[in-house]
């Protein structure tokens, strides 16, 4: 019997002495050592009573052992459930109650709090930055060989909870096939090989940092510079000896804010990838002007892993997320029926990357996952004649004012093009007559620019019903940990303005 994900990502490295991870303290972890560590932690899991299909909740620091724990869950047949390290006690209560894990692994500093949440029915173990966590200590005493538990393509490998900004957070069930198919597509498309060295500064509780970055590296046998967090000086130091960087837009704006970023610095780099939030066109342009390299933007979701990517060889257009990945179908629809190229509709996706459904939510699964296998993403988009996808916005962010459909991104693009504007977020708030009013929160580069001047610039470029009723000048836009603007927060903050 085989274990789909383990056999592809980890087992091939049993005798591989090449470097897998380089840590912040300069320690190099070989692939062979990593495989042994995975086995040691797998023993800890089974000793704790973990059986195939059991959930293991992980809210822990970004450490080598945290990654090895992911591998151990795969080898032992358990389901890996990473949680944002910023989640509060009330949020953790929900996740633990919904997931019913057999084991929770947390930072040692949070052990008492987590133990209180779990009660006596769930094991709690710890990981800590000083290496003295209970999981680490137990693993040190274990054998470096482990009999891999058989798991098939459709068996559950991971459970990831969505952000829950429009209701209860949903647990997306991801199979071995979901994760492996996506890793293979991305590794091939982005031409990742054992000769690559990836700068990894992303969190590992999210699809981007965990599955996109690490699964592709494991599949290819690439080296990973494993950083605890994004640090501009460290990233600048690592770029000359690296070939890949996977990041979010804020990584690139921070790099552009450093005078050391130039063509000479990045001459060894072959690919900069951005995702998790839209990249401004001006960031694309400025980065290319400074480095001679064009950032590759891609698009994905928790439920689907990656869906599309701009081409590795070919034109990478700002404002688009490229083409459907090999083996993935993407349709733009209106009530499930494909619309013509150039028309706005719902983005739907089908393929081996699409999740199995939402845990404990059969009704929600039925609403968003069609019987024909297409997943309704909730994103609105446009497909060009040649199949290139552009995202217009989230359906939940669509503004309906006076009977008109208003797409925030169209307005944001106009505002962002105004000299002196850094970025903007357009959102709707309730209005007694029109249903919703259009609002725009704007972050300035030029403090002399005023709301009236922005309105004057926008006026001739958009139909009157699209004009923001008010421009709110702000220092920053609210964002989640992956850099996505939280329009739900803006709507809550400025809801009283709509009727004014």
- For 448-459, the pLDDT digits (tens) are 999 999 999 999
* Measured distance CA(33)–CA(56) in Å, rounded: 23
Say how many C-beta atoms besides its own lie within 10 A of residue 410's C-beta.
15
The DSSP letter of residue 217 is: H
By three-state DSSP, how is residue 438 classified? strand
Mean pLDDT lowest for which of 22-31, 76-85, 258-267, 406-415? 406-415
Model pLDDT for residues 292-325, shown as the tens digit of each residue: 999 999 999 999 999 999 999 999 998 899 999 9
Beta-strand relationship, 296-301 and 435-444: unpaired
- Whole-Å CA distances, 107 to 82, 277, 467: 13, 28, 48
In a domain, 300, yes or no: no
Model pLDDT for residues 211-239, shown as the tens digit of each residue: 999 999 999 999 999 999 999 999 999 99
H-helix or E-strand spanning residue 81: strand 79-82
How many domains does the structure of the chain reveal? 2
**332 pLDDT exceeds 50?**
yes
Domain CATH number, residue 69: 3.40.50.12780
Q: Would you state the pLDDT for residue 166?
A: 47
Q: Would you state the pLDDT for residue 243?
A: 98
In a domain, 407, yes or no: yes
**Among 279, 284, 288, CA closest to 250:** 279
In a domain, 377, yes or no: no
- Residue 285 dihedral angles phi and psi, to the nearest 5°: -65, -50
244: alpha, beta or left? (left if phi > 0; alpha if psi -120 to 50) = beta
Using 50, 70 and 90 to split pLDDT, how confident is the model at 86?
A: confident
Mean pLDDT of 60-76: 98
**Among 434, 498, 430, CA closest to 470:** 498
Q: Would you state the pLDDT for residue 212?
A: 96
**143 pLDDT exceeds 90?**
yes
**Among 201, 158, 199, CA closest to 182:** 158
By three-state DSSP, how is residue 388 classified? coil
| Percent of the chain clearing pLDDT 90 (strictly above) | 80
Q: Would you state the pLDDT for residue 397?
A: 82
**433 pLDDT exceeds 80?**
no
Mean pLDDT of 133-159: 97
Mean pLDDT of 395-424: 86
Range of the domain at 54: 4-152
- How is residue 176 written in tokens? 């071995």
**359 pLDDT exceeds 60?**
yes
Beta-strand relationship, 123-127 and 103-107: parallel
In a domain, 436, yes or no: yes
Q: Would you state the pLDDT for residue 87?
A: 82
Model pLDDT for residues 165-196, shown as the tens digit of each residue: 445 789 999 999 999 999 999 999 999 999 99
Model pLDDT for residues 197-207, shown as the tens digit of each residue: 999 999 999 89
In a domain, 91, yes or no: yes
Q: Which residue has the tokens 């049993």?
A: 14
Q: Would you state the pLDDT for residue 482?
A: 67
- How is residue 354 written in tokens? 């699409």
**164 pLDDT exceeds 60?**
no
To the nearest 10°, the Cα dihedral for 383, 384, 386, 389? -40
* Measured distance CA(37)–CA(328) in Å, rounded: 34
**277 pLDDT exceeds 60?**
yes
Supply the mean pLDDT for the chain: 93
Q: Which residue has the tokens 């633990």?
A: 96
In a domain, 163, yes or no: no
Among 152, 187, 212, where does a domain finish? Answer: 152
Among 117, 152, 187, where does a domain finish? Answer: 152
Mean pLDDT lowest for which of 162-166, 268-272, 421-425? 162-166
In a domain, 217, yes or no: no
Domain CATH number, residue 456: 3.30.300.30
Is the pLDDT higher at 397 or at 19? 19
The DSSP letter of residue 120 is: T
- Residue 204 dihedral angles phi and psi, to the nearest 5°: -110, 20
* Measured distance CA(306)–CA(325) in Å, rounded: 8
| Percent of the chain clearing pLDDT 70 (strictly above) | 98
Using 50, 70 and 90 to split pLDDT, how confident is the model at 394?
A: confident
In a domain, 281, yes or no: no
Among 152, 172, 198, where does a domain finish? Answer: 152
């Amino acid at each position: 019997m085989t274990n789909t994900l383990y056999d592809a990502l980890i087992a091939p490295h049993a005798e591989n002495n090449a470097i897998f991870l380089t840590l912040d303290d300069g320690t190099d972890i070989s692939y062979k050592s990593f495989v042994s560590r995975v086995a040691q932690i797998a023993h800890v899991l089974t000793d704790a009573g973990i059986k195939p299909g059991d959930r293991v909740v992980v809210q822990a620091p970004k450490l080598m052992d945290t990654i090895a724990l992911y591998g151990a869950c795969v080898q032992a047949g358990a389901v890996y459930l990473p949680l944002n390290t910023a989640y509060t006690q009330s949020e953790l209560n929900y996740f633990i109650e919904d997931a019913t894990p057999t084991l929770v692994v947390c930072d040692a500093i949070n052990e008492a709090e987590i133990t209180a949440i779990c009660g006596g029915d769930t094991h709690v173990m710890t990981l800590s930055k000083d290496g003295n966590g209970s999981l680490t200590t137990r693993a040190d005493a274990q054998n470096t060989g482990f009999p891999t538990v058989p798991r098939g393509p459709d068996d559950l490998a991971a459970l990831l909870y969505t952000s829950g900004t429009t209701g209860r957070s949903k647990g997306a069930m991801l199979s071995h096939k979901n994760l492996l198919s996506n890793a293979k597509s991305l590794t091939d498309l982005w031409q990742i090989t054992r000769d690559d060295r990836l700068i990894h500064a992303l969190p590992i509780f999210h699809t981007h940092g965990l599955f996109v970055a690490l699964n592709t590296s494991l599949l290819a046998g690439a080296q990973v510079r494993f950083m605890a967090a994004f640090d501009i000086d460290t990233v600048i130091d690592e770029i000359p000896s690296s070939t890949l960087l996977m990041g979010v837009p804020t990584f690139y704006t921070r790099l552009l804010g450093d005078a050391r970023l130039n063509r000479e610095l990045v001459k060894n780099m072959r690919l900069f990838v951005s995702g998790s939030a839209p990249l401004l066109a001006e960031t694309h342009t400025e980065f290319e002007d400074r480095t001679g390299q064009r950032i590759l933007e891609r698009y994905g979701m928790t439920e689907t892993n990656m869906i599309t990517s701009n081409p590795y060889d070919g034109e990478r257009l700002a404002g688009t997320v490229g083409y459907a990945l090999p083996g993935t179908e993407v349709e733009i629809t209106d009530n499930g029926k494909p619309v013509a190229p150039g028309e706005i509709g719902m983005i739907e996706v089908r393929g081996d990357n699409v999740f199995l459904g939402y845990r404990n939510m059969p009704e929600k699964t039925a609403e968003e996952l069609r019987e024909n296998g297409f997943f309704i993403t909730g994103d609105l988009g446009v497909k060009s004649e040649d199949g290139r996808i552009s995202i217009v916005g989230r359906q939940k962010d669509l503004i309906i004012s006076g009977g008109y459909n208003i797409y925030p991104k169209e307005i944001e693009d106009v505002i962002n093009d105004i000299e002196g504007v850094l970025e903007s977020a357009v959102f709707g708030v309730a209005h007694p007559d029109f249903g919703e009013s259009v609002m725009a929160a704007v972050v300035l580069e030029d403090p002399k620019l005023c709301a009236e001047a922005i309105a004057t610039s926008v006026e001739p470029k958009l139909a009157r019903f699209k004009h923001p009723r008010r421009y709110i000048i702000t220092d920053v836009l609210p964002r989640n940990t992956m850099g996505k603007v939280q329009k739900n927060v803006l709507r809550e903050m400025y809801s009283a303005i709509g009727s004014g």
